[in-house]
A and B are shown apart, each in its own frame.
Chain A
């Protein structure tokens, strides 16, 4: 059993670190994010389509379009030089595009899933196809963006040559899906009718409430421990910036997503229709690569793995990453495993 004098010493060390660390905090400067060079190539409303500058002389002929979630910002995939999935993909020789959805405001509250999927995503895909004189491209969807990519591929299979999904919810009603259980009793109509757009802060509250002791207490003690190390501190602050950089959600899209996906599980029940297009996962016949995180508390593995049962593809591969929903982009192991895994799988299907 530890002794009182040990406790005192520990408190002293802790205080000392915090006191000295404040100097580091005052010098840490702006929290920069986004490690790779990119150019805006197409813009529409709040959306910007970026093309990343290749890092090899001859990048692959068929580009990859990354579709990120509407929740949080896509720079998580390109956080900093040594923690960037996108940089890894570029180094593997891929030609990478990314949709940045921007920050919806009150005037965007009536945008719905049809506008996002059959509108914005479709126009981005068409733009890239025209630029490269291709009939179809590779799609890489992340989290909710993965669900969007699945829906898009099911509605427009002729436009997708290969589909990669990462930490993507498919079965929204697995027993371990806490978020799903929480929203079942939620009056989403009242929420959207009242708030219009759903504030990012409300989503943050939900996410923090998933693991409140860790995410609101322990994490900041960890930070205090690293205050004296400017590099570690900056890494922490980048993550912190990303976590709380939460765009509001276009009201109608949020309403449809919660009702159709979380409450009614239409994606796997086969009764989903978006903008008059039936969304039938069996129409996904192109090769599919499904990456999930084994310790994901936001999208439980079972929710992602379910995809295999429903897609029509004969070429279906899964990759299990030992880590969490965020670790899959920023952990050291992810930098080695994820871009290489995705690129290897894609290259084998692009010849």
Chain B
């Protein structure tokens, strides 16, 4: 390491520390505005990496923030954290490359290494986690989150059903799904055989849903892989033309472009369309079965069931529709009657005119009122 490099690194390290200080100062200013928050500054915060910094902010602000805002804040933080992690990784990548000199191929190697690492990280998170959405958290935060909430909401069963059934989903990873499927196919016996059968059916449907989610996750991981390839291609293309990215934001935007391009390629393919539909259909089948089981339980407790409510709604709607039709028929009938009356009158007037015996027309009501008012004056 020569003196120049050492000096450069020291400069960066100083700048880094300086920036951390500014960064915390800004947040401290904000926190001081909140009563009683000054003491909550985490110790050792100044050494926290950038990405983790957002977590700390969120924790510090938590106590003074109403729960509804906290959810919103967490969402913002999660997305921004992904951006900062990219910055952090690029910082490390470029610092390493800088150490190796200014040979463009060295730069490229470092970037290439970073991208490959990122792709592997997503893939390994996906492979090793029970959470089928692992690895997409910052890349695909919102649709994955929305889907998770969808799969739990409108569920006849309480709680986060998606999370509760992750152990069943985990059977796919451990290769035990076929065994579980066999067990869920065994004949049921005795007084409760019907309800056992329904419960087994629910288990089978969950297995199918788990498989479908996994297949969808696989498809998404192909998008990430392809996006990484495109990013490499584009960066290489820029380097060959003697161009370069001039900011972290430009790098992020390029990544987004590549992601969308990769997604557009994949999302219109037949396998993806089938995989996505399979996941949605499988979830609906699970929910349908849940409803059936819950309805049985409610029925046994002499409580109103979903089926009963549906029947009531259907009948109410049929009645409402009959009222609409009757009302319209009445209106149409009234209008028709008036039209016929006008037509008869018009015919009579025409006949009278034609016969030449027409007498002066009786004035209409407004004219009569007008005459009367004249008489008065």
Interface residues of A (CB under 8 A from B): 1-12, 14-16, 18-20, 22-23, 106-107, 109-111, 115, 119, 178, 181-187, 190-191, 193-196, 199, 201-202, 204-205, 208-209, 211-218, 220-221, 223-224
Contacts and interface: CB of A to CB of B under 8 A. Distances in A.
Is the interface on chain B under 10, 10 to 19, 20 to 34, or 35 or more residues?
Answer: 35 or more
A194 B287 contact: yes
B140 A15 contact: no
A7 B284 contact: no
A201 B150 contact: yes
Interface stretch (B127-135, B176-184, B196-204, B275-283): B275-283
Contact of A11 (B19, B27, B104): B19
A208 B150 CA distance: 14
Contact of A8 (B91, B288, B309): B91
Contacts of B53: 15
Find the residue from B22, B143, B249 having the highest chain A CB count within 10 A.
B143
8 contacts: A7-B91, A107-B313, A110-B313, A178-B268, A193-B288, A194-B284, A208-B146, A212-B143
Given A11-B84, A18-B80, A119 B324 contact: yes
A208 B82 CA distance: 18
Contacts of B123: none
Given A16-B26, A201-B149, A205-B146, A212 B140 contact: yes
Contacts of A218: 252-253, 256
A199 B142 contact: no
Given A7-B91, A184-B273, A216-B140, A1 B82 contact: no
Interface string B220-247: 0000000000000000000000001111
A7 B87 contact: yes
A252 to B, nearest CB: 9
A168 B227 CA distance: 32
Which of A15, A181, A183, A209 has the most chain B CB within a 10 Å cutoff? A15
A216 B142 contact: yes
Nearest to B257: A213
Nearest to A18: B80
B215 interface: no
Nearest to B53: A15
B19 A186 contact: no
B76 A220 contact: yes
Given A2-B245, A186-B281, A208-B146, A15 B26 contact: yes
